[in-house]
Chain A
């Protein structure tokens, strides 16, 4: 490997030093994730069976997708608190618009994405041109969208989602070699993750997002169209929320609080994944690893049989501990 050019006598020492340096450069979320998975496997050896693991991944996929979307907004220096309510609106709106007729499903999915894009554009326009901070803009949107969802459905979950809508969250592709059943949600997750990774790490747009988060003024002076980039980050986050909503509607069905709390979880996931609130950096894969850790933690606490009220407490402790560990690693690089 990289040590091959090193003279024979010092080879051992350099090799271990290189390894140490490489390990130190691994974002801290990965060791955390490895420990969580190892513990889960210790408690439940079946976890490594493809169907069990894929089922876990399927349940985790909405949060992972949401974290990838949220990262765009956070890397550009903002927050998006409106995603949880947008999920609720997506699920309730889907049931109402489809109205029991499966042939409506496909145009409804299109309409849901249009609603999501409109929400993202609105958030971006308000932040860019009315200069309202994204925290307040998207907090206002959180209230507005939740109110709109409740208003639309008269305050009670109405209707149901037909099977051809729920297929994305609930169904599997059968007889896949090695894996057995492959959930559609995992395919959606992989496609979305790949798209987000390409956009964030492989395009000019991704660079502009980070430049904007790092220093909006210098980004503008170096020719970044700040409003356009900012609006696109919110649009991407909203698209992630609609996608997560379609998956959640698939396996959780229609309920009033299907999206509640997802906004704070997504932000925690992104921060655990090493992004800095205030912007400038981040990695899609690490943000998704952050989301996966949160879900793995939940699974682990379940396996350990911890009474459910304590789970919130342990989750709080772990979030603080993991973020503190990440901050410590950051300082001692």
Chain B
């Protein structure tokens, strides 16, 4: 039965992770109805669920680009902190400074992505080590300059985190827009096709005339830009940025986990952003379910770890390739 459901979803172009998501959602609804507080299936709850997914969702879309290209980015958590702090520090509560601050942090994001990409391609460093290094670098510089909440955002900017358009949270629109643009780039543009080619087999792509270095650099710029957007969303929710917001959210490892749970191969070349979004929603459903069931926060971590493994195992177990 599950197999046929998957075939139908695939025929519609919907990643099979959404079947898993639906399953999780229904199980959560039943468990909460039986043992928990409040109702799980309600408009307010779904909206809440979507807003919870925004911060991780946006950066996970970018992480999908990096992973598809056969790379990965561990520096996003600290970049999110840098962006959160720099934007609120630049804004200082003044609405007129918002455009300047946004331009500044997007430039920082693009610069960090460019640096990551150049280190990986030109110095030929492994992406794991390269982005671990740039992450440490940002952590050090940030902690040396700021040790607490810095500046604040004007109330107009808080609209990004709290505002609604026709009942839909603006932040959710932003998440869907980022995912939509990401999906369009991957499926419809030459850059997108090249990302799959490079991630599938870098040497073959190079021999077929793809400028592989540029593609990897481009993927890292996209990844860092989404981290910057996540940082902007987070600072609009918190009203001020602090150096610990990124590492506290574990956005580096969580975004990679969401990408892989969403069906993208960690070795690159296969997957897409809608799958990633499904992975992020699964994490949010779990979090909300655990909250409404009043589960001990430590037990929550235990279950979360096991469920991540089980979710990936549910489809990797049928693959013919051995994992490493």
Contact = CB atoms under 8 A, between A and B. Distances in A.
Interface stretch (A145-153, A170-178, A198-206, A238-246): A145-153
A150 B132 CA distance: 26
B309 A267 contact: no
Given A143-B302, A317-B137, A268 B129 contact: yes
Contacts of B297: 155
Given A151-B302, A309-B144, A319 B132 contact: yes
Contact of A144 (B139, B306, B323, B324): B306
B230 to A, nearest CB: 20
A320 interface: yes
Contacts of A130: 309, 313, 316-317
Nearest to B141: A313
Interface string A122-157: 000011111111111101111111111011000100
Contact of B298 (A151, A264, A315, A328): A151
Interface in A100-137: 126-137
Given A313-B136, A320-B133, A137 B144 contact: no
Given A133-B260, A150-B298, A126 B309 contact: yes
Contacts of B143: 309, 312
A78 B305 CA distance: 18
B134 A140 contact: no
For chain A, which range describes its interface: under 10, 10 to 19, 20 to 34, or 35 or more residues?
A: 35 or more
A279 interface: yes
Contact of B322 (A131, A267, A311): A131
A193 interface: no
B308 A140 contact: yes
A66 to B, nearest CB: 16
A169 interface: no
Contacts of B267: 133
Contact of A327 (B125, B141, B319, B323): B125
Given A136-B309, A315-B136, A131 B302 contact: no
A327 B119 CA distance: 11
Interface string A311-329: 1111111011001100110
B300 interface: yes
Interface of A is mostly: helix
Contacts of A77: 324
A143 to B, nearest CB: 3
Contacts, number: 175
A141 B313 contact: no
Nearest to B144: A309
A311 B201 CA distance: 38
Contact of B324 (A271, A279, A324): A279
A271 B306 contact: no
Nearest to B130: A320
B210 interface: no
B69 to A, nearest CB: 16
Contact of A226 (B139, B300, B321, B322): B322
A83 B107 CA distance: 37
28 contacts: A126-B309, A129-B317, A131-B316, A132-B323, A133-B260, A136-B261, A136-B308, A136-B309, A136-B312, A142-B253, A147-B299, A151-B296, A151-B298, A151-B302, A155-B297, A216-B322, A271-B126, A279-B324, A309-B141, A310-B140, A312-B137, A313-B138, A316-B137, A316-B140, A320-B123, A320-B133, A323-B123, A323-B133
Given A131-B313, A217-B322, A311-B140, 17 more contacts: A130-B313, A133-B324, A143-B305, A144-B301, A147-B303, A148-B302, A151-B298, A151-B302, A271-B129, A277-B126, A309-B143, A312-B139, A313-B139, A315-B136, A323-B125, A323-B126, A327-B123
